[in-house]
A and B are shown apart, each in its own frame.
Chain A
Amino acid sequence: MDIRLSGVSHRYDQTEVLRDISLEIPSGKIVCIVGPSGCGKSTLLRLIGGLEQPSAGRILQVGTPPADCLNPLTYVFQDFALLPWRTVHGNISLVLEDHSIPSQDADDIIQNVLARTKLSDFAEALPKQLSGGMKQRVAIARALAVNPAVMLMDEPLSALDSQTRELLMDDLVNLWTRIPFTAVYVTHNLAEAVRLGHSIVVMSRRPGEIREIVHLDQPLEQRGLGNAELEDKQKYLWKLMREEAEAADAELIHV
């Protein structure tokens, strides 16, 4: 299933947040969205997933999601959004409970996603017992459990320290190479973008417009640390973004 945005604009009261965004998200690819803070990239993600309605323009699903897909558009949040009163197992079963799946099948799904995210030993742990990286792995496992057609990831690694971030990026690359998934990945971190994105959408400061879409052809599994080509891309992205970021930073002071 692809996602197509045509002429999407959005405003909150008087503030124009997004202007005329047209974008194609092809299935099986990771599209990263980068931009300075306050450029509306998180808003764009909420629009894509139907948590908010755009002021203008249309967001379309092209094609039908696979039959075993329980929740076509599935989020992974920056703050993990785990229920603190449920165990790891309970947090994942939460999203399966409304689908009247036989409990045996649900257990199989949970075991499977826990194994894929290397969490099998922590099924009965409460979120408060887990580190930030583990919590985000639980959230990713929960997202995988509903077999999403498109994963909408809102700065999923931004609340983590840089070492955990590296580990989780490797995990995401591994997950994708085993079973390619479609994802929109919002981040302000250019290193994450060049590491995970098949294409990178660079947005301008508010009102957010698409400045450029950068394509990366190198396969995900070959993009390690200190890769020269990635460094160049990252430098190029930073050049694109630098002015915007500076201007956005100065703007915030005047608010």
Chain B
Amino acid sequence: MSDQINADAIRPVPFRGGGFAPSSRRWVGLVVFVVLIALAEMGTRQGWISSLTLPKPSDVLKTFGELYSTGLLWKHLSVSLSRLIVGAALGASVGIAVGVMIGLFSYVRAGLVPLVAALFPIPKIALLPLFVIWFGIDEGSKYALIAFGTFTPTVVATYGAVDNVDRGLIRMGQSFNLSWWSIVRKIVLPGAMPGILSGLRISLAIAIILLVAAEMLGAEYGIGAYILEAGSLYDLERLFAGVTILSILGVTLSICIGMIERRLLRWRV
């Protein structure tokens, strides 16, 4: 039968599969950055981007170099980092604890879920004056602002993650007479870990935003203070140097969480 069909009617079956499975292409991200910066450099040098709109990337780099050589970089960065670490650690740990409790106890859930929903949409920056009165003008109010801002998204992510833990595994734990605490520690928490970590990605980015906001109000040192000062003097090189530090901070945090995920979630299919 096939002999009767002429040769040009024979062709390979067209391929229709593939796609929808993004794989990691590390260098692409870097290329995007490099191309954008090169474009800005070219534009500012040749004059089709005016120096009022965008500073020369090379000048920003120079400013960055000065910042580093005068030791001011470390001074700003160290206070900012310590605020970020204390605030975010406080907010995230309380958030995870409360989230797990909401996930486990009906009364806690009934009582706190509406409260968290009410707190979530409040722009935390608006509360800064209040925090200054409550926790003082120094570090206290800044810690509180960052902690409060990280707390709500962490809670929501955590109790969602606890809800999604396979009930079959919990029933298995009960059937082997594991203690309540063992079930929480060995089954619920590890099972909720993927959700908690992806929630942390969001809350830590929010923490950086709030860090800058807090430092813009009444701080001598810190990246936020640095950016605010540069902005009010219209010193674009320093402004961009400050923004770059924030971006690098964000990327670093994201890489850190990525590493933690790879370490803790090796078991995932």
Instruction: Please list the residues of chain A having a beta carbon within 8 angstroms of any beta carbon in chain B.
Output: 49, 51, 70-71, 73-75, 77, 79, 81, 83-86, 94-95, 97-98, 126-128, 142, 146
Contact of A81 among B169, B179, B182 (CB under 8 A): B169
If A49-B175, A146-B176 touch, whether A84 touches B268 (CB-CB below 8 Å) is yes
Identify the closest chain A residue to B179 (Cβ): A98
Q: Are B168 and A79 in contact (CB under 8 A)?
A: yes
Residues of A within 8 A of B269 (CB): 84, 128
Residues of B within 8 A of A71 (CB): 175-177
Identify the closest chain A residue to B177 (Cβ): A71
Q: Are B190 and A81 in contact (CB under 8 A)?
A: no
**A interface SS class:** loop
Most B CB within 10 A of own CB, among A79, A85, A94: A85
Whole-angstrom distance between the Cβ of A89 and the nearest chain B Cβ? 14
How many angstroms from the CA of A97 to the CA of B173 in the assembled complex? Answer: 12
How many angstroms from the CA of A98 to the CA of B171 in the assembled complex? Answer: 16
B:123-162 near A, CB below 8 Å: none
If A126-B267, A128-B269 touch, whether A81 touches B171 (CB-CB below 8 Å) is yes
If A83-B187, A98-B182 touch, whether A74 touches B176 (CB-CB below 8 Å) is yes
Whether B186 sits at the interface, judged by CB under 8 Å, is yes
> Can you give 26 A-B contacts (C-beta < 8 A)?
A49-B175, A51-B171, A51-B174, A51-B175, A70-B177, A71-B175, A74-B175, A74-B176, A77-B168, A81-B171, A83-B186, A84-B267, A84-B268, A84-B269, A85-B190, A85-B191, A85-B267, A94-B178, A94-B186, A95-B176, A95-B178, A97-B182, A98-B177, A98-B182, A128-B269, A142-B176
Identify the closest chain A residue to B267 (Cβ): A85
Whole-angstrom distance between the Cβ of A85 and the nearest chain B Cβ? 4
Q: Are B169 and A83 in contact (CB under 8 A)?
A: yes
If A83-B187, A85-B267 touch, whether A75 touches B172 (CB-CB below 8 Å) is yes
Whether B266 sits at the interface, judged by CB under 8 Å, is yes
Identify the closest chain A residue to B190 (Cβ): A85
How many angstroms from the CA of A95 to the CA of B175 in the assembled complex? Answer: 10
Whole-angstrom distance between the Cβ of A198 and the nearest chain B Cβ? 24
Residues of B within 8 A of A85 (CB): 190-191, 193, 265, 267
